Amino acid sequence: FRPTMGRVPAGEENQRFFDSSTRTSYKSLLLLGKGGFAKCYKVRDEFSQDNWALKVIDKKNMNDNQYNKVLREIKIHEGLDHPHIVRLMRTFEDDSNVHIVMELCCEKTLLTLINDSSRLSEQDSQYYLRGVVSAVTFLLSYDIIHRDIKPGNILLKESGSRTVVKLADFGLACMMKDVSGASVSGTPNYLAPEVLKRKGHSSSSEAWSIGCLLFCMVVGLPPFDSTSIQETYRRIEAGDYKYPPKIGLSSAVVTLIDGLLRVPVSERLGVFDISSSAFMRSSVVKTSFTNIANSRNCSVAASRTCSSRVSYSGVCHPNSPTRSKYSPPPPPLPPRQSVFQYSQGLAHSTYGFDTTRSQSHQDSSSSLSISPSLPNLLFADLDIHTATLGSLLSGVQSMAAVRMDHPLHISKWVDYSNKYGFGCLLSDGTTSVKFNSGEIVSLRNDFTGVYAKSHSMKPLPLNMRDAHIAKLVELAKSYNSYMKTQLAKAAKVDDTRENRRWNDMSTPYITHFSKNKKSVMVMLSDGTIQINFTSEHIKMIISPDTSTSSLLSFIDPDGVFTTCRTTSLPPSPRCLSSSILSLIRESNEFISTEMSYLRCSRHSCPLTTSC
């Protein structure tokens, strides 16, 4: 897109775009940009009066290949729900155009901010980089590479008193498994040397682009900028860049940039290394650019195709957008499948993030699945868990790694609470689903198991002669099938442990789950709590150990499992690093908040008097 930021052209004033599927009419207010096949407008929903960005793509002048690329761009973008990624709200189509409704960012891009300021301070650069890294880390954890990270694709949006970074433009985004070494996609100044050598895009090439982005912020120009593309490519392949002598950059930012711009991939810092760098750990001044905000300067959350962006040997797009650890792609697109049909063909379920789009969910800090009462024993377990975490935070105790079987934990999960409920596959093979009604079904591999009601939390054997329970069991089987077949990259289920567990204890089941902006928490009937930290991609399992302490286990982004026990000995570095302590602190606050809520709900519920 070429940003135009002007009045709607003559003849297009007050133009209306009608979505027949939702009976919604959008009125054009401002032309934001235009490209070869599309125009982008600031529009207003005439019913809700909300303002959006609307990308209108002329499909009459597109061939089938170009049309299918639009569909695939939509599919990867519409399933992404992250605070630092521009949201695609909905799509609709008529005989002439494809319409994409997106979040509107009415301030500036990072590129215009750099151009206006010549260069950014290190404090401001660190703040913006933090949001970019969060977004890219999110994508990589779901095997997506953006392939066009650059200042022009970083939108800046004011939210209250702070500025929020938003990553946009998924026109070149691709699943890692679909990357072709022959494809060179991106913007020349931000391409990694291995991409130019046709070795393919990867998480390492994303790290390189982030290094170029950081250099551009603190210096004011891309590191390999030159008067010709050929010279730019030569400099990239040689790693030939220099810092202007009079800028006076800190050693911390130079060290990080140099680490990200190492030509040998084996020596280059990764995206996951950025947050722990000295530069990112230093104090930060949160930036608000109210002095440059302009009500008419709207950056669109649409795909911007910069004139200097190149794509050789085609562009690779993913097919499935609505899940993390995406399932195998659907069948190839027919030549003219509609956006609506293509979109409706995939279930809006998740593994690792939620696709529920209700406004109330987006605006709340915590979305609760209400469990009005928990057995006294579970509250006792929760008290022990919080006491254990508190002793670690206060320094009274530390932790040491221990060798033992992995405790019961959640290996896969699906949040389909916009229709049915929340389900998970446990490490012992059990599938447990908590339905929106509050009812719970937990199934073993032989599809025997238990049924529980939230208000009593007393599990009963499954009674398949009860038509209602039989229906819930069939839904739970669907969850089981989906998680086992479509979420194949998650942790493997230990079937031997599964059989041992069922011989000596009742089938475990979900008692409560809750979500906030940073994490997902699930409580199990055996007293286990698991918290998945969505940004760090670390899972923390707190399980009963003794009558006075709990076991803490951590699964890192690479799937490495570490179990720790409280001790008075010096702490193990793996168990009590500063980053782990931060997660423990967040967990303690999360659990304490939920306990207060559950206890309050329990005492106010007339059905809990027998508990």
Residue 398 lies in a domain: yes
Torsions phi, psi of 439, nearest 5? -75, 155
134-184 residue pLDDT tens: 899 888 888 889 999 999 999 998 776 678 899 998 888 888 887 776 677
- Annotated ligand binding at 55? The verdict is yes
Residues 325 and 414 in one domain: no
CA distances from 88 to 19, 92, 341, 352 (A): 15, 12, 17, 19
Better-predicted residue by pLDDT, 47 or 264 = 264
Residues 393 and 330 in one domain: no
pLDDT, residue 454, reads 65
Residue 382 and residue 554 in contact, taking contact as beta carbons nearer than 8 Å:
no
CA distances from 556 to 272, 303, 372, 553 (A): 11, 33, 33, 10
Report the alpha-carbon distance of residue 180 to residue 314 in Å, rounded.
9
User: H or E element: which one contains 271?
Assistant: helix 271-274
Torsions phi, psi of 608, nearest 5? -100, 5
pLDDT, residue 442, reads 92
Report the alpha-carbon distance of residue 523 to residue 389 in Å, rounded.
16
pLDDT, residue 500, reads 39
553-607 residue pLDDT tens: 988 887 888 888 877 666 665 566 777 788 888 888 888 777 666 655 544 443 3
Report the alpha-carbon distance of residue 193 to residue 265 in Å, rounded.
9
Tell me the residue range of the domain where 515 lies.
Answer: 366-608
pLDDT, residue 568, reads 64
Residues 322 and 444 in one domain: no
Residue 205 lies in a domain: yes
Q: What sections of 98-141 are H helices per DSSP?
A: 110-117, 122-141
Residues 373 and 324 in one domain: no
Residue 302 lies in a domain: no
Residue 125 and residue 284 in contact, taking contact as beta carbons nearer than 8 Å:
no
DSSP string, 240-253: -----TTS---HHH
Better-predicted residue by pLDDT, 187 or 340 = 187
* Nearest of 109, 122, 531 to residue 301 by alpha carbon: 109
Residues 466 and 323 in one domain: no
User: H or E element: which one contains 392?
Assistant: helix 376-394
Burial tier of 394 (Cβ tally within 10 Å: 0-12, 13-18, 19+):
exposed
Residues 376 and 518 in one domain: yes
Report the alpha-carbon distance of residue 170 to residue 153 in Å, rounded.
9
Count other Cβ atoms within 10 Å, centred on residue 377. 13
Residue 143 and residue 316 in contact, taking contact as beta carbons nearer than 8 Å:
no
Q: Characterize the bridge pairing of strands 154-159 and 162-167.
A: antiparallel
What is the chain's mean pLDDT, rounded? 75
Residues 544 and 469 in one domain: yes
Residue 437 lies in a domain: yes
pLDDT at 484 over 90: no
pLDDT at 302 over 50: no
Residue 402 lies in a domain: yes
Residue 546 lies in a domain: yes
Report the alpha-carbon distance of residue 442 to residue 460 in Å, rounded.
10
Residue 442, domain CATH:
3.30.1120.30
Residue 355 lies in a domain: no
Residue/partner pairs of 20-28 with CB below 8 Å, 24 or more apart = 20/92, 20/94, 21/92, 21/340, 22/90, 22/92, 26/52, 26/54, 26/101, 28/54
Residues 462 and 543 in one domain: yes
* Number of domains comprising the chain: 2
What is the Rg, in whole angstroms, of the alpha carbon atoms belonging to the chain? 26
Better-predicted residue by pLDDT, 342 or 484 = 484
Count other Cβ atoms within 10 Å, centred on residue 297. 16
Q: What sections of 442-577 are H helices per DSSP?
A: 467-486, 495-504
Residue 407 and residue 563 in contact, taking contact as beta carbons nearer than 8 Å:
yes
pLDDT, residue 358, reads 31
SS3 label, residue 596: helix
51-87 residue pLDDT tens: 999 999 998 888 888 888 888 888 889 888 888 999 9
- 48: Cβ contacts below 8 Å, ≥ 6 apart: none
Better-predicted residue by pLDDT, 226 or 492 = 226
Residues 584 and 478 in one domain: yes
Residues 250 and 382 in one domain: no
Question: Where would I find the beta strands (DSSP E) of 466-581?
Answer: 510-516, 519-524, 529-533, 538-544, 550-555, 561-567
pLDDT, residue 505, reads 40
**Length in residues, the chain:** 611
194-250 residue pLDDT tens: 999 888 889 999 999 999 999 999 999 999 999 888 999 999 999 999 999 888 899
Residue 576 and residue 399 in contact, taking contact as beta carbons nearer than 8 Å:
yes
pLDDT, residue 107, reads 58
For residue 201, give both structure tokens.
């895009």
| Region 345-368 average pLDDT | 32
Where residue 377 falls among pLDDT bands split at 50, 70, 90? low
CA distances from 550 to 326, 332, 388, 494, 528 (A): 34, 50, 6, 22, 9
| Region 4-23 average pLDDT | 71
User: H or E element: which one contains 569?
Assistant: none
Amino acid identity of residue 357, one-letter, is R
| Region 278-296 average pLDDT | 51
Better-predicted residue by pLDDT, 404 or 412 = 412
Where residue 27 falls among pLDDT bands split at 50, 70, 90? very high
pLDDT, residue 310, reads 39
- 324: Cβ contacts below 8 Å, ≥ 6 apart: 141, 142, 350, 351, 352, 353
Residues 330 and 376 in one domain: no
* Nearest of 151, 163, 173, 155 to residue 86 by alpha carbon: 155
* Nearest of 197, 212, 234, 75 to residue 149 by alpha carbon: 212
Report the alpha-carbon distance of residue 84 to residue 167 in Å, rounded.
6
Residue 221, domain CATH:
1.10.510.10
101-133 residue pLDDT tens: 999 986 578 999 999 889 999 999 999 999 999
The tokens 């509609």 sit on which residue?
338
Question: Where would I find the beta strands (DSSP E) of 245-352?
Answer: 299-300, 310-312
Residue 326 lies in a domain: yes
pLDDT, residue 13, reads 60
Residues 324 and 411 in one domain: no
pLDDT at 291 over 50: no
